[in-house]
Structure formats: C-alpha cells, structure tokens
Chains A and B, each alone.
Chain A
Amino acid sequence: MSDQYPPNPQDPYDPNVGGQPGYGSGYGQGGYPGAPSYGQQPNGPKPDNNLVWGILATVLCCLPFGIVSIVKASKVDGLWNSGQFAAAQQAAADAKKWAIISAVVGLTVSVGYIILAVLVGVSGA
C-alpha cells in the first residue's frame, strides 16, 4: 500500500487539482519553437534505433521503404553521440514509420488483389 493521499477534488487551493499535473514545472526547458538545438539536454535515454522494424519490413514484406527504414535506423546512434538528441529520436521514429508504411502498402495491395480476384473470379494470376 502506498502512503500517498488522494488529492481532494473539492480543494481549490490544492495545486494538483485541475489543470496539468505538476511535472516539476516546465520553465527553462527548451522554450520557443524553432529554438536552436545546440547544447540541449537529452530528453530521456538513447532511443532504440528500431532496426527490428526495418528487418521485418525488408525480409517479410518487400518494398523499398524497408531499406529507407534501415537507413534511418543507422543514423540514430551517430546523431545521439554527437549531441543531436532530438534528431536521433526523430530518426528512430522515422525508422518505425517507414517500416509501417512498407507493411501497410504491402498488405493493402495483397488484400486488394485477393478481393479483386474474388470479385472478378480469376484464380491465380
């Protein structure tokens, strides 16, 4: 059992009631949009480079998008180690995104082909 008490929702003076939960204030953390990313602090641990998605997409789907995913994955570690943390996280997210695009396109075409084949009554190809 935890010893934390629940915040009283009726208490208008409780800082934890209503609005954002207190994450220890957002002041001084990467302010306005478009701020230069030099010298930023890492926002969490080094991201996984999501290579698993690229391998899945390339070997078990097909399509060139799987290769794009692997290339994106290859950039994660280098960007992170050179201090470009946001770019590293973006590359990891892109690696995942392109693998998903690959899978969605592959599945859509396959399922579409099966539906078409059933509708038209063509067996095989």
Chain B
Amino acid sequence: MTSPPITTANSQGARSPAGWRTPVGGAALALAGVGLVLLRDPHREGALGICPSLLLTGGYCPGCGSLRGVHDLATGQLGEAVGHNLLLVPALVWLVWWWVVQVGATTGRRLAGPPSSARFCWLLVAGLAVFTIARNLPGSPLAP
C-alpha cells in the first residue's frame, strides 16, 4: 500500500475557503436582496416584476407578500410584515438559525440545527397547503 500524496489538509480545515463559501455567500445574497428591496419598494406593483404563480393561477401562493414583508422588516415595521405574510418571520428565523449553524461548522463548532426531519417536512407541506387555501378565501386576513 502506498499512500498517495493527495489527501491533504482538506477535510477538517477550519477556515478553508470552501467552508466559508456558504455562510459568506448566504449573507452577501441576503444583504443584496434587502438592498434591492429597499431600492425598489415592492409595495409598488410591478416594481420588481410580476410573480409567475400569481400571473398563471390568479391565486396567492405561500410566498406571496414576502418581498413586501422583507421591506417592512428592513424599515422596522414588524406588524406590517406579519400582515403581508404570516410565514415570513418564522421562515426567516429558520433561515438565520441555519446560517448560524453554517458559521459554527466553518469555525469548528457543531451546533444544533433548525428542525429538518421528515416529520417536520411533512408538517411543513401540510401547513403550507392549509395556509395557501386559507389566504385565498374571500376576505381572508391572511391574504398578502
């Protein structure tokens, strides 16, 4: 058995560029998204184009209102954000939690991640279905 000289310090190196790519890239994309939303206020219809789901179906999908919600959060209006999309804040909590775990992994800390079991996935799908139906009912307070 000869040991080939290819298995270099690649596997567990804290602070390898590949390890930082996810947390840094994620943060950069998130900031770019917030910047875009602040630049072109999505409350103005058509400011950021049009949603293909809304265009095709005429109904609100579970993501509808989240861009307006992000704009509201960036300008400090939590209540408005919840009004546009009830799921936005919980989703952002999940995503920030996930991001913190990624940062922990790159710096050699193993942190408990956000829920992602099969059971959670199915609850999520069921919840999204109920939410979608509920927000499309006439006069629904969950509408974006």
Contact = CB atoms under 8 A, between A and B. Distances in A.
Given A4-B5, A51-B121, A59 B49 contact: no
Interface string A51-63: 1101110111111
> Which of under 10, 10 to 19, 20 to 34, or 35 or more describes the interface residues of B?
35 or more
B127 to A, nearest CB: 10
B49 A67 contact: no
Given A4-B5, A21-B6, A60-B63, A124 B44 contact: yes
Contacts of A49: 116, 121
A114 B49 contact: yes
B115 to A, nearest CB: 9
B20 interface: no
Contacts of A55: 91, 94-95, 124
Interface string B93-120: 0110010000000000000000011101
Interface in B54-97: 54-55, 61-64, 66-67, 85, 87-88, 91, 94-95
A99 interface: no
B98 A52 contact: yes
Contacts of A52: 95, 98
Contacts of A61: 63
A71 interface: yes
A63 B53 contact: yes
A111 B62 CA distance: 21
A77 B113 CA distance: 15
Contacts of B122: 74
Contacts of A117: 46
Contacts of B64: 62
A71 B62 CA distance: 15
B52 A59 contact: no
Contacts of A6: 5
B118 A106 contact: no
Interface in A23-69: 23-24, 49, 51-52, 54-56, 58-64, 66-67
B46 A71 contact: no
Given A70-B124, A109-B55, A59 B88 contact: yes
Given A70-B121, A124-B46, A59 B62 contact: yes
Given A59-B66, A125-B46, 5 more contacts: A59-B62, A59-B91, A60-B63, A63-B52, A67-B125
